[in-house]
Amino acid sequence: MTHTLPLPDFTHERVEVITGRRSGLFITVALHSSVLGSALGGARLWTYPHWSDALGDALRLSAAMTLKNAAAGLDAGGGKSVIALPPGTVLDAERRRAAFLDLGDAVESLHGLYRTAEDVGSTTEDMLVVSERTEHVVGLPDAVGGSGEPAGPTSLGVYESLRATLERIGGGADVAGRRITVSGLGQVGSRLAVRLAAEGAVLTVTDVNPAKRDLADELGAAWAQPGEEHLVASDVFVPAGIGGLLTDEVIDALDAKAVCGPANNPLADRTGAERLAARGILYAPDFVVNAGGVIYLDLEAKKIGTRTEIMDRVAHIGDTVRRVFDEAETRGITPLEAAEALAAERLSAGERGHALTH
């Protein structure tokens, strides 16, 4: 489900909006910031009620990528691309290929200021198609020497963030016996659910795709009806689907001690952070929690460290979450504000460095 949200403030360096000449689809590439380096952010293929919803999603997601990459300590800016499908559209193989060739042309038009990768709705194979039109793409399939699917590293970062969150709400970091609700069983959510079930979590899961109930059965997890999962009593609620899930109404009814998950922009409005805090619900900011994939893709592409060393860096996302919680408590602010301040420090330093070299 896509939640229609108002267009955010425009703070971007550049946005390319095209109708794909091969596919006829609305495609946007949003470059939010290149202050810290060439922007990195995935390509989302999704159904939207209207093209303006796709544009708004690209603007919000690209701005979040700037925060994510900065907070993760990467020398990378923030960007995002979106291929919008009109309601009811199903792509055959030929038109799907056409769409990603069109995306490649759009990415190439930014001359390296933005690098794309797989995201919700797209795959590493799709990125191989993009690479036919531009070299500014990462996360190609392992079979062609690429870094492959980033969902594993993302899942690891979320897992370590979840442990840090459990630790903060009391009862230690171990997941065994803890009540955890996972909303969304895509590439990341399903990997996380498998690990949590194996480690003895009391698991509730849901997804808008009813076929995902088979995974719940395999894991021995309870199944919640989509749209009602936030009503299940849990220690941690894990939003792992599309953004905008945490509306004021959902937050007011949320039966959880904490929120920690990989969904981008889970708050329908950033005031939701204060609303959660007012209810005593700890919030681990999404752009810190879900940075594992982008850390992996960026460092792999730049050949910085072995895969083992890169995954070790991903695992330290939990320590960043702890730092954010500490800063929030010390300063009397929300974890979201603390995480934004962490990102702002790096961006400010990057802007100063940029000014000195130009």
Residues 6+ apart with CB under 8 A from 107: 29, 81, 114, 115, 116, 130, 133, 134, 136, 137
- What are the two backbone dihedrals, phi and then psi, of residue 191, each rounded to the nearest 5 degrees? -60, -45
Helices (H), the chain: 51-71, 93-108, 124-130, 151-169, 187-198, 213-219, 248-253, 272-278, 286-289, 292-301, 307-315, 317-331, 335-356
Catalytic choice (68, 80, 212, 257): 80
Active site residue 80: yes
In angstroms, the CA 176 to CA 201 distance is 5
In angstroms, the CA 335 to CA 123 distance is 32
The first and second tokens of residue 186, run together, are 């895509």
Residues 6+ apart with CB under 8 A from 329: none
**Amino acid identity, residue 3?**
H
Length of the chain counted residue by residue:
358
Q: Which residues are the active-site residues? A: 80
